[in-house]
Amino acid sequence: MSKKILVVGGTGYLGQHLLQSYSYARQSLALAFTYHSTPLPQPFLDAFPHSLPFQIDLKSGIGFEAISSVFGQPDVVINCAAISVPRACEIDPDTANAINVPSSLVKWLQTFKQNNTLLIHLSTDQVYEGEKSFYKEEDIAIPVNVYGKTKLAAEKFIAENFPNFAILRSSIIYGPQTLSPVPKSLPVQWMDCVLSKRETVEFFHDEFRCPIYVKDLITIILALTNQWISGSKQMQLLLNAGGPDRVSRVQMAEAVAQVRGYDTSLIKPVSASSVDRGVKSPADISMDITRLVQTLKINPVSFKDGVKLTLATEATR
């Protein structure tokens, strides 16, 4: 019988890339996804004709019953749903908490008799305080904003209430646009767009991240999926999921400029403290990814190579 994969938040940036990757293997996998906002855009329906859509609300838990009766118990659930914009979390912390802590999802998974489901949950580097470089998974997590606090609470909830999980603390995810374009601006494409105007642009020099190329994150999720469906034991994994490079926004913009051949002197370094973004942002949440590399034998690409791959893919659209 086909193994069943459920992508929660299938309409988002990562969710769509995941659905696309799982679709390639659709002979052996039954695929379903959840969405929240209606209507589903036509380009989305056209892109994923073989996946079963289910509308759910993580806040109320409405919608899970229909998945039980139509699709049944999934073998793997990937939770990509969240209020993923830190400023939005700051404005409405209660809603952010209700959606980002997936209690309704976990409670639904607990309704199935055996523990036959692997839950892969997307967390964030923003659980770290940002006061040092290259955080390890065992370092104490002290989030500085509501988004980070809700994501850390989610990790704790899952670890305490579900026996079989992998939590991925993702850094900034970058890569090509999705088949049905997402409304938010994508980092590499945004930098490319502003630098292409050949005017001076300000970038932060003092905030550090380890951005991860979206297809590397997908390789990680597919590896975990394969481990579980090919008979692995239950897991309780926590992994930093970042790229190998610790970069500031200035360094990210320089990589884009170099790949595109723009004048790097247009990049004006400024401090993150010079701008009020309506949310506290941790300074240095670069991550040590040794555990990821050793556990899954996956080596994410450098930021510059990821930029090349992103822009090359966009050029073929």
Task: List Cβ neighbours of 310 (8 Å cut-off, separation of 6 or more).
Answer: 174, 175, 176, 188, 189, 213
- Per CB under 6 A, 120 contacts ligand NAP: no
Q: Which of 3, 36, 280, 308 binds ligand NAP (CB under 6 A)?
A: 36
Q: Which of 22, 29, 35, 152 binds ligand NAP (CB under 6 A)?
A: 35
- Per CB under 6 A, 145 contacts ligand NAP: no
- Per CB under 6 A, 240 contacts ligand NAP: no
Cα–Cα distance for residue pair 86/104, rounded to 1 Å: 22
- Per CB under 6 A, 122 contacts ligand NAP: yes
Cα–Cα distance for residue pair 91/146, rounded to 1 Å: 9
- Per CB under 6 A, 188 contacts ligand NAP: no
CB of 279 to ligand NAP, least distance (A): 14
Backbone angles phi, psi at 289, to 5 degrees: -105, 20
Cα–Cα distance for residue pair 22/72, rounded to 1 Å: 18
Backbone angles phi, psi at 16, to 5 degrees: -65, -40
Positions in 264-293 near ligand NAP (CB under 6 A): none
Structure tokens given for 310: 């992103």
CB of 217 to ligand NAP, least distance (A): 9
CB 238 within 8 A of CB 155: yes
- Per CB under 6 A, 84 contacts ligand NAP: yes
CB of 106 to ligand NAP, least distance (A): 14
- Per CB under 6 A, 205 contacts ligand NAP: no
Structure tokens given for 72: 């049944």
Cα–Cα distance for residue pair 263/11, rounded to 1 Å: 36
Per residue, the 3-state secondary structure of 24-49, as one string, reads: HCCCCEEEEEEECCCCCCHHHHHHCC
- Per CB under 6 A, 294 contacts ligand NAP: no
Q: Which of 99, 167, 250, 256 binds ligand NAP (CB under 6 A)?
A: 99
Task: List Cβ neighbours of 143 (8 Å cut-off, separation of 6 or more).
Answer: 126, 127, 128, 129, 149, 151, 152, 282
- Per CB under 6 A, 81 contacts ligand NAP: yes
Lookup result for tokens 């998945």: 67
Lookup result for tokens 């199935």: 112
Tell me whether residue 35 or residue 213 sits nearer to ligand NAP (CB atom).
35
Tell me whether residue 173 or residue 292 sits nearer to ligand NAP (CB atom).
173
- Per CB under 6 A, 182 contacts ligand NAP: yes
CB of 231 to ligand NAP, least distance (A): 28
Tell me whether residue 70 or residue 268 sits nearer to ligand NAP (CB atom).
70
Residue 81 corresponds to which amino acid? A
What DSSP state is assigned to residue 205?
A: S
Residue least distant from ligand NAP (Cβ)? 12
- Per CB under 6 A, 152 contacts ligand NAP: no
- Per CB under 6 A, 158 contacts ligand NAP: no
CB of 85 to ligand NAP, least distance (A): 7
CB of 35 to ligand NAP, least distance (A): 4
Cα–Cα distance for residue pair 9/7, rounded to 1 Å: 6
The residues of the shown chain that bind ligand NAP, judged by CB under 6 A, are: 9, 11-15, 35-37, 56-59, 80-82, 84, 99, 122, 124, 170, 172-173, 182
